[in-house]
A = this chain, B = another copy of it.
Amino acid sequence: MTNPHAPETNRSLPIALLRAREKVMGPIRAMLADVGVTEQQWRVLRVLDERGPLDPTEIADRSCLLLPSLTRILQTLEGKALVSRAAHPTDRRKQVVTITEDGQTLIADNLKESQRLNAWLRDSFGSEKLDALLDLLNELDQLDRPDGR
């Protein structure tokens, strides 16, 4: 059974986005499960690794997480000693989150496999189609919603 889905739901954009995301994330989740981090924890670690120490609000924006979720994720990551937190030097409302050496090691150990999965996607789906898809998704993201939020 290659495609068990009814034709009508194939034309529902929310469902199509859901299925596509599951297709892409499945293998990545499997890889991360072996290391003991979730997809969201991985996103946070990568942001911190790429951009250096950040405050939670900026982490949330860059990793597409809501702050309440991020709060819990940072607590988990701190418990695993993959990140550390310090008070902001001037603004005492903020804090500064930094990836630890253990965190950087975890990223380094799995980046190659992650890139291999990306390469698989680009190869099997086609480079032109992948770029076209990304362009369309980014265009869609820039629409103004009817309720203006």
| Residue positions of A touching B, CB distance < 8 A | 2-6, 8-11, 13-21, 23-28, 30, 39, 43, 50, 61-62, 64, 117, 120-121, 124-125, 129-130, 132-134, 136-147, 149
Query: Knowing A16-B137, A136-B136 touch, does A143 contact B23 (C-beta < 8 A)?
Result: yes
**Contact at B21–A21, with CB atoms within 8 Å?**
yes
| A130 vs B11: C-alpha distance when bound (angstroms) | 10
- Give this chain's copy count: 2
Query: Knowing A14-B28, A120-B146, A125-B140 touch, does A62 contact B20 (C-beta < 8 A)?
Result: no
**Contact at B130–A143, with CB atoms within 8 Å?**
no
In the complex, which of the residues B24, B124, B140 contacts A20, with contact meaning CB atoms closer than 8 Å? B140
In the complex, which of the residues B11, B21, B28, B124 contacts A143, with contact meaning CB atoms closer than 8 Å? B124
